């Protein structure tokens, strides 16, 4: 049985869907407790059963009121989790905000936690320590994500993300240099910093690939307003959701991960690396473990440093070629493939269940 605190669909939910699909192929019978929404729709399309769960995210409005509402929802979710978990061999928790309801439920089967976040905020750290006793073992996608979980006393193993492999490499770029970013349009992903950086590079065009959640509408409107200003007008394209992301990435000279908060294991970086597109990433979280010689690291939130790094990769053909060749070589030599990731996670779940 899997538990997801949200019915929306972004990177963490995509990884959960991949894991559940692999477990199903391995012979598991699966049910996922999740709020109704795109995640439930995608799971059902893949033949995975779902059951309804209240949305376990902090609602808008005054914080005290929001915490009270979340507390009541967690109690209701705990009752459903406990009931649905009775025949299960294993409970798989996806995301830290699912933990309070699972802690309250005290399910009989062992609990595994798929960790996609670097727990760095004080409120998240308190939440983690309060719920640690509910988890038998955590599976983290990077050492950066594993460290705070280990500090909270939870046994944790690291299984790095992987991407589809092998893939067709990107052709040598021609025409005006295009820089791209694949990420949900939300403030912690740093697209506002990226716009400020590209504004300093008048020859560069920018493409932003990724959807958005309703709560981020004001942020997206600010991005669009900034992109319409004279120093960026006509050079920024908002592409929204793209079905074949790699096909778009292959047209870029540089891929960017501009997150201002640390990411556990950015799939975007692995995607850029897999097709040989050099990357500029912010120097924190799992990005430090992934990038190596496939790109350049910059301080988070520093538009000037980001612009300088992008400019170097755009103008220096030798540096660009070195980073381009290093990406696919790292995917191959380190086994950063989706096939390996799925197999290792399913094997870990079998061990926890046993």
Kindly give the confidence (pLDDT) of every residue in the chain, 354 residues in length, as a single tens digit, with 9 standing for 90 and above: 999 999 989 889 999 999 999 999 999 999 999 999 999 999 999 999 999 999 887 666 676 666 677 778 889 899 999 999 999 999 999 989 899 999 999 999 999 999 999 999 888 899 899 999 999 999 999 999 999 999 999 999 999 999 999 999 988 878 899 999 999 999 999 999 999 999 999 999 999 999 998 889 999 999 999 999 999 999 999 999 998 999 999 999 999 999 999 999 999 999 999 999 999 999 999 999 999 999 999 999 999 999 999 999 999 999 999 999 999 999 999 999 999 999 999 999 999 999
Quick one: pLDDT at residue 265?
93
| Portions of the chain given CATH number 3.40.50.2000 | 2-162+337-353, 178-334
Tens of pLDDT along 7-20?
989 889 999 999 99
Quick one: pLDDT at residue 52?
95
Quick one: pLDDT at residue 66?
65
Half-sphere exposure of 230 (CA within 13 A, CB side): 0
Quick one: pLDDT at residue 159?
97
Quick one: pLDDT at residue 135?
97
Q: What is the pTM of this model?
A: 0.93
Quick one: pLDDT at residue 36?
94
Quick one: pLDDT at residue 63?
64
For the domain spanning 2-162+337-353, the CATH number is: 3.40.50.2000
Secondary structure string (H, E, C) spanning the chain: CEEECCCCCCHHHHHHHHHHHHHHHCCCCCEEEECCCHHHHHHHHCCCEEEECCCCCCCCCCHHHHHHHHHHHHHHHHHHHHHHHCCCCCEEEECHHHHHHHHHHCCCCCEEEEECECCCCHHHHHHHHHHHHHCCEEEECCHHHHHHHHHCCCCEEECCCCECCCCCCCCCCCCCCEEEEECCCCHHHCHHHHHHHHHCCCCCEEEEECCCCHHHHHHHHHHHHHHCCCCCCCCEEEEECCCCHHHHHCCCCEEEECCCCCECCCHHHHHHHHCCCCEEEECCCCHHHHCHHHEEEECCCCHHHHHHHHHHHHHCHHHHHHHHHHHHHHHHHHCCEHHHHHHHHHHHHHHHHC
| Residue that the structure tokens 């599976």 belong to | 139
Quick one: pLDDT at residue 109?
96
Of 138, 71, 62, 69, nearest to 100 by C-alpha is 71
The domain defined by 178-334 folds into: Rossmann fold (3.40.50)
Residue 93: alpha-carbon gap to chain centroid: 16
């Amino acid at each position: 049985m899997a538990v997801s605190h949200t019915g929306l669909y972004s990177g963490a939910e995509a990884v959960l869907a991949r894991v559940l699909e692999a477990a199903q192929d391995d012979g598991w019978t699966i049910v996922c407790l999740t709020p109704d929404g795109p995640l439930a729709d995608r799971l059902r399309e893949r033949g995975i059963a779902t059951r309804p769960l209240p949305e376990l995210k902090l609602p808008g409005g005054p914080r005290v009121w929001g915490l009270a509402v979340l507390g009541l929802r967690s109690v209701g979710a705990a009752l459903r989790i406990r009931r649905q978990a009775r025949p299960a061999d294993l409970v798989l928790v996806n995301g830290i905000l699912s933990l309070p309801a699972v802690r309250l439920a005290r399910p009989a089967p062992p609990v595994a936690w798929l960790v996609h976040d670097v727990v760095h905020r004080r409120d998240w750290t308190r939440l983690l320590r309060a719920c640690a006793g509910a988890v038998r073992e955590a599976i983290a996608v990077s050492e950066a994500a594993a460290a705070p979980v280990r500090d909270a006393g939870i046994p944790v193993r690291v299984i790095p993300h992987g991407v589809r492999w092998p893939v067709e490499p990107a052709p040598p770029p021609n025409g005006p240099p295009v820089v791209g970013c694949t990420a949900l349009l939300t403030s912690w992903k740093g697209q506002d910093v990226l716009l400020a950086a590209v504004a300093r590079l008048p020859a560069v065009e920018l493409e932003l690939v990724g959807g958005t959640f309703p709560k981020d509408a004001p942020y997206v409107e600010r991005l669009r307003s900034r992109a319409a200003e004279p120093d960026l007008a006509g050079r920024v394209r908002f592409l929204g959701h793209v079905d074949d992301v790699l096909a778009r990435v292959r047209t870029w000279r540089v891929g960017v991960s501009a997150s201002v908060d640390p990411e556990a294991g950015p799939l975007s970086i692995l995607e850029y690396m897999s097709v040989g597109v050099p990357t500029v990433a912010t120097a924190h979280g799992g990005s430090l473990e992934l990038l190596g010689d496939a790109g350049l690291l910059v301080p988070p939130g520093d538009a000037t440093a980001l612009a300088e790094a992008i400019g170097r990769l755009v103008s220096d053909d030798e540096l660009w070629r070195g980073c381009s060749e290093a990406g696919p070589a790292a995917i191959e030599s380190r086994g950063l493939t989706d096939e390996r990731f799925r197999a290792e996670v399913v094997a870990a779940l079998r061990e926890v269940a046993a």
